[in-house]
């Protein structure tokens, strides 16, 4: 504000000098000076011309600054004029900084969108017509579609996609559809759309995920994890066997074998046998997972199924002083492979038993409930629970926290339940770990 006052002060001083020059020239003419008044009026004329150009420059500067702000053009540099028009240029710099910040954000957001392996289109409504506001690189490359700006052009490239959107009248939907990609066979995509209004502008967002890509990615991750486990187990067995074999070879190549050497040979062979047994168990566990037979379903009551499993486990419960609370009050018929589901229940009860090893008062709870034609069997224990660090690993093949464990119990159980059209999950709550078996009611 003080800087702007300085401009007005300079303008006022110029006006005072001009007025003083006119008065002084008139005074000189009254006292009969001939050339002095003429010279004075010339100076006044020059001052008026200078004032005109001074005011004009200020107005032009104001006009240019205001025009830049209105047109959102911040390419000009007014830093040298800040001393004269500080308030206006402060506003200009503030808006310029905000625009630069917004441009930076737009570049970052666009870069993120272009690196996401999901097809993204954002449409914008203009005069009752939809136009393409943004199309990310993944969408453009995957569908070989140029980055068009008109909906009609996009429609000519991807008619099946645009037809579904138009049929739903550009409303929020989540569905699957088949799209032909690069003149190859059709692929199935999951499409999810949303509509939003920002500053009275209507936007429609379309997300497309290829089911094939998702499945391939999950399969690849599963294979990588499986190969890590298999290679780890194989190396754990093969490395010591190879080392012992080298030692035994050196011993038997000696001319004479002492009693100590014989003992070393016996010990080495025993170790090799133990490691071979562990390796054999590992392979058998893998065979169980890979060659799980299809369920041979028959009808059985829920209570009977639970009692059969508890009968198998009761001797261990008594030995470990575990209190088992069977809280199942309902009894419904299930169509399941009895042996397989009993194996799942025994695996989960065994898992709870191991979780209670360091607990003084050991408790296991069994409950069930029915929701929307599905039966949920819950097996809980008051053990230490599952650590956050391993929650995403409990169903991985051969993953175990027990030295003597094979690491296939939970994986096998999950595969069995899923083969029955249900699912197996767990949760930690109220100081209890609960495994939930979901099965379809007969």
> Pick from 21, 56, 88: which residue ends a domain?
88
Q: Provide the CATH number for the domain around residue 146.
A: 3.30.450.20
Per cent of the chain over pLDDT 90 is 3
Could you report the per-residue pLDDT of 79-88, keeping only the tens digit for each?
Answer: 665 555 456 6
- For residue 137, is pLDDT > 80? yes
Answer yes or no: is 98 within a domain. Answer: no
Cα dist from 438 to 176, 298, 392, whole Å: 26, 17, 19
Shared-domain flag, residues 262 and 328? no
| One domain for residues 74 and 194 | no
Same domain, 428 and 335: yes
Residues 266-275, mean pLDDT to the nearest whole number = 76
Is the residue at 72 inside a domain?
yes
Same domain, 421 and 315: yes
DSSP lists the bridge partners of residue 129 as: 126
pLDDT category at 389 given cuts 50, 70, 90 is: low
Indicate the pLDDT class of residue 3, thresholds 50, 70 and 90.
Answer: very low
The CATH number assigned to the domain holding 313 equals 3.30.565.10
User: What is the predicted pLDDT for the residue at 115?
Assistant: 81
DSSP state of 80: G
In angstroms, the CA 230 to CA 288 distance is: 15
Rounded to 5°, the CA angle 35-38-40 comes to 110
In a domain, 97, yes or no: no
The answer to whether position 413 is within a domain reads yes
Q: Is the pLDDT of residue 296 over 60?
A: yes
Quickly state the pLDDT bin for 378 (edges 50, 70, 90). very high
Asked if residue 408 lies in contact with residue 415, where contact means CB atoms within 8 angstroms, the answer is: no
Residues 280 and 311 in one domain: no
How far is residue 346's CA from residue 61's CA, in Å, rounded to a whole number? 86
**Do 172 and 39 share a domain, yes or no?**
no
User: Into how many domains does the chain fold?
Assistant: 4
pLDDT at residue 1, as a whole number: 43
Task: With a cut of 80, say whether residue 212 has pLDDT above it.
Answer: no
| HEC profile of 274-303 | HHHHHHHHHHHHHHHHHCCCCCCCEEEEHH
- Using the predicted structure, report yes or no on whether residue 226 has a pLDDT greater than 60: yes
Residue 230 and residue 204 share a domain: no
Residue 284: predicted pLDDT: 66
Mean pLDDT is highest, among 10-24, 207-221, 295-309, for: 295-309
Residues 6+ apart with CB under 8 A from 205: 120, 121, 122, 123, 193, 194, 195, 196
For residue 46, the model assigns a pLDDT of 77
Query: Do 126 and 197 lie in a common domain?
Result: yes
Mean pLDDT across 192-210: 86
> In terms of domains, do 270 and 326 share one?
no
Q: Is the distance from CB of 271 to CB of 251 less than 8 angstroms?
A: no
Can you give the residue range of the structural domain that contains 411? 298-440
> Residue 182 in 3-state DSSP?
coil
Residue 245 lies in a domain: yes
Rounded CA separation 215/100 (Å)? 41
pTM of the model: 0.44
């Amino acid at each position: 504000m003080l800087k702007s006052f300085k401009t007005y002060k300079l303008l006022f001083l110029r006006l005072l000098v001009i007025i003083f020059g006119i008065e002084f020239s008139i005074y000189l003419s009254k006292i009969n000076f001939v050339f002095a008044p003429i010279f004075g009026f010339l100076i006044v004329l020059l001052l008026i011309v200078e004032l005109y150009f001074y005011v004009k420059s200020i107005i032009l500067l104001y006009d240019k600054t205001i025009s830049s702000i209105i047109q959102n053009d911040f390419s000009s540099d007014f830093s040298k004029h800040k001393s004269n028009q500080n308030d206006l240029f402060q506003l200009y710099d503030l808006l310029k900084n905000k625009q630069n910040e917004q441009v930076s954000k737009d570049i970052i957001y666009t870069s993120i969108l272009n690196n996401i392996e999901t097809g993204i289109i954002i449409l914008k409504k203009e005069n009752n017509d939809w136009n393409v506001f943004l199309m990310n690189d993944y969408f453009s490359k995957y569908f070989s579609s140029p980055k068009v700006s008109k909906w009609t052009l996009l429609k000519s490239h991807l008619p099946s996609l645009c037809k579904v959107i138009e049929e739903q009248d550009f409303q929020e939907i989540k569905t699957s559809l088949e799209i032909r990609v690069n003149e190859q066979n059709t692929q199935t995509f999951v499409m999810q759309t949303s509509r939003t209004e920002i500053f009275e502008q209507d936007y429609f967002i379309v997300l497309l995920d290829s089911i094939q890509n998702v499945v391939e990615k999950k399969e690849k991750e599963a294979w990588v994890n499986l190969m890590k486990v298999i290679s780890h187990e194989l190396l754990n067995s093969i490395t010591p066997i190879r080392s012992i074999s080298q030692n035994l070879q050196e011993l038997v190549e000696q001319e004479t074998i002492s009693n100590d050497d014989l003992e070393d040979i016996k010990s080495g062979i025993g170790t090799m046998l133990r490691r071979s047994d562990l390796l054999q168990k590992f392979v058998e566990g893998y065979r169980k997972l890979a060659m799980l037979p299809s369920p041979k379903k028959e009808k059985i009551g829920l209570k009977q199924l639970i009692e059969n499993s508890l009968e198998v486990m009761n001797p261990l419960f008594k030995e470990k002083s575990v209190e088992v609370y069977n809280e199942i009050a309902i009894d419904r018929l299930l169509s399941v492979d009895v042996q397989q589901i009993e194996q799942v229940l025994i695996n989960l009860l065994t898992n709870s038993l191991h979780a209670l090893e360091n607990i003084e008062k050991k408790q296991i709870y069994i409950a069930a409930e029915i929701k929307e034609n599905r039966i949920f069997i819950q097996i809980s224990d008051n053990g230490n629970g599952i650590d956050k660090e391993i929650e995403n690993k409990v169903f991985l093949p051969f993953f175990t926290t027990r030295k003597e464990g094979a690491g296939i119990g939970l994986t096998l159980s999950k595969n069995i339940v899923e083969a029955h059209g249900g699912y197996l999950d767990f949760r930690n709550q109220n100081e209890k770990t609960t495994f939930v078996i979901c099965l379809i009611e007969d």
